[in-house]
Amino acid sequence: MHPIVNRFLKYVKIDTQSDPNNSNFPSTEKQWNLAHLLVSELKEIGMHEVTIDENCYIMATLTSNIDYTVPTIGFVAHIDTSPDFSGTNVNPQIIENYNGKDILLNNKKNIILSPDYFEDLLLYKGQTLITTDGTTLLGADDKAGVAEIVSAMEHLIKNQEIKHGKIRICFTPDEEIGNGAHLFDVEKFGVEWAYTMDGSKIGELEYENFNAAGAKVTIQGISVHPGSAKGKMINSILIGNEFSSLLPANEVPEKTSGYEGFYHLHTFSGDIETTTLEYIIRDHDFNLFENRKKTFLEAVALINKKHNSEIIKVEIKDQYFNMKEKIEPVMHIVDIAKEAMEQANIKPLIKAIRGGTDGSLLSYKGLPCPNIFAGGHNFHGKYEYVPVESLIKATEVIVNIAQIVARK
């Protein structure tokens, strides 16, 4: 088995789920477990200036092996996994020479990974897949990216004939809860541009992402005994349903694709007295994004007017913005990644991210940062998998980028 497989399996077996309900940074202590392992490993393979700060950001340097000046570049990945699905006791399975048929992930629970539902599986017929056992996520988002960066650095250190300039790497915590770049020290990182290794399907190359906001709707009802409730009870649960129905029914994640934006209700909880709805609001176009927030507020105002009181209150917070605005003036950095993929016989799939990455916030902090595939599929759930060949190819792309920059 290729060495990157052992490295990846070691990483995914360490539970690093982040926690959106914890304001500490990082949000979970267990992220330190992988962080400290990575610090030791980076030192062992020969990286320089290996540091870890009080916020769990790991940085390291691969020194230049050329005698002329080229741009210092960086590679970034995150160590945490999604809080949406269990990352405890990850038990990866290896499927060699995948035959294009259903994969039984868990016999006891009859959990099947099927190409009839996940058609991208057929792209990897004949390859080796790493899957879950059907009870947890896998963690390829983004431990695949971490493994690829470490493996690429090790390859460059062991093969000094490959020419490269100075390269910086950084592994971040809490990306999955939107905080991965919040305390990122761009000045300390000290690069002209970077790439996040945090995409999905092999070939993905992304420099556009959603504009994003989070919205919390709180509805205050009045609880009265149902026997005497007429004209007095206000059932906040029903008001929550009414509010949800005022938003465009087809503008939800499960009915949109490409550049289409959406409203996503991801939490609905409450009782007669108090109900809370939590949404994410997304759109690639900034004006449409602003209109979505306006539509949201209009729905709130409509219900409040109907009840002649502020029965609904809402808090909307912007989360991140489309990095396209920051990348387009330096499109040569996307061209370099595209060339690196073509050198690896990979067809670049330049597309917009229907989400966000650390690269979005980093780009707005002055560090242009497109996103490159890490190879995994079906992130944040039990059907997650990654082809070994994609891990290897992503590592090759990193090495190719280093070489291309060195000869510019």
Catalytic residues: 80, 175
What is the SS3 string spanning the chain? CCHHHHHHHHHHCCCCECCCCCCCCCCCCCHHHHHHHHHHHHHHHCCEEEEECCCCCEEEEECCCCCCCCCCEEEEEECCECCCCCCCCCCCEEECCCCCCCEEEECCCCEEECCCCCHHHHHHCCCCEEECCCCCCCCHHHHHHHHHHHHHHHHHHHCCCCCCCCEEEEEECCHHHCCCCCCCCHHHHCCCEEEEEEECCCCEEEEEECEEEEEEEEEECECCCHHHCCCCCECHHHHHHHHHHHCCCCCCHHHCCCCCCEEEEEEEEECCCEEEEEEEEEECCHHHHHHHHHHHHHHHHHHHHHHCCCCEEEEEEEEECCCHHHHHHHCHHHHHHHHHHHHCCCCCEEEEECCCCHHHHHHHCCCCCCEEECCCECCCCCCCEEEHHHHHHHHHHHHHHHHHHHCC
Question: Residue 355 in contact with residue 210, Cβ under 8 Å?
Answer: yes
Tokens (6 digits) for 80: 């945490």
Tokens at residue 264, please? Answer: 């996503």
Return d(Cα 190, Cα 140) in angstroms, integer.
27
Of 403, 372, 404, the closest CA to residue 203 belongs to 372
Dihedral pair phi/psi, residue 296, rounded to 5°: -60, -45
* CA pair distance 48, 59, nearest whole angstrom: 9
